[in-house]
């Protein structure tokens, strides 16, 4: 949806369930800026709220759709407007989330327990993404969400 025009134009995007079922990314084209709200709250594993319709696989889909769709964004406003980051930092965040989901899916395919996969992912991501908060409890929670969503739907993220 587009609101306004010219320098005052604002674009709203929703790519489906992610953090919740109603996440909207707000793009300010004239400022080359996007506000991701809690889709990208901070450099950490995402907070998914299944009770509010959130889906971890949908979260990754939304991030990847944003990456493919927004070609003229330089600045990213994170959740609650707590910080401004660069588009390159957003790309890194998307990559971290992709690696997380891919590793969780590989754990399912290998028949590993979710807790074991979460421990492996926490260690690997903490080493690969210094400056990120990779909390083991959040990794455990999010791996369980990946397992649950895949078992329920049978769909893997490519």
Q: Is the pLDDT confidence value at 132 over 80?
A: yes
Q: Is the pLDDT confidence value at 128 over 70?
A: yes
C-alpha 116 chain-centroid distance: 22
Written as six digits, the tokens of 91 are 């790309």
Rg of the chain (C-alpha set):
16
Q: What is the pLDDT of residues 79-95, one digit of tens each?
A: 876 789 999 999 999 99
Closest CA to 84 of 95, 94, 73: 73
C-alpha 70 chain-centroid distance: 15
* Residue with more model confidence, 114 or 82: 114
Hey, where are the domains in the chain?
Answer: 2-153
At residue 54, the 3 state secondary structure works out as coil
In degrees to the nearest 10, what's the CA dihedral of 64, 68, 70, 75?
A: 50
CATH number, span 2-153? 3.60.15.10
Mean pLDDT of 152-158: 72
Q: What is the pLDDT of residues 30-68, one digit of tens each?
A: 999 999 999 999 999 999 999 999 999 999 999 999 999
Q: Are strands 33-37 and 10-13 parallel, antiparallel or unpaired?
A: unpaired
């Amino acid at each position: 949806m587009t609101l306004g025009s010219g320098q005052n134009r604002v674009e709203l995007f929703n790519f489906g369930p992610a953090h919740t079922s109603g996440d909207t990314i707000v793009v300010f084209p004239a400022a080359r800026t996007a506000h991701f709200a809690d889709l990208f709250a901070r450099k950490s594993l995402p907070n998914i709220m299944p009770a509010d319709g959130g889906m971890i696989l949908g979260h990754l889909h939304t991030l990847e759709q944003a990456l493919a769709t927004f070609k003229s964004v330089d600045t990213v406003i994170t959740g609650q407007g707590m910080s401004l980051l660069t588009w390159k930092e957003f790309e890194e965040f998307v990559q971290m989330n992709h690696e997380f989901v891919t590793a969780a899916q590989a754990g399912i395919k290998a028949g590993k327990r979710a807790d074991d996969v979460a421990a492996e992912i926490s260690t690997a991501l903490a080493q690969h993404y210094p400056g990120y908060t990779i909390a083991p409890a959040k990794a455990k929670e999010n791996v369980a969400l990946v397992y649950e969503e895949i078992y329920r739907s049978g769909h893997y993220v490519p």
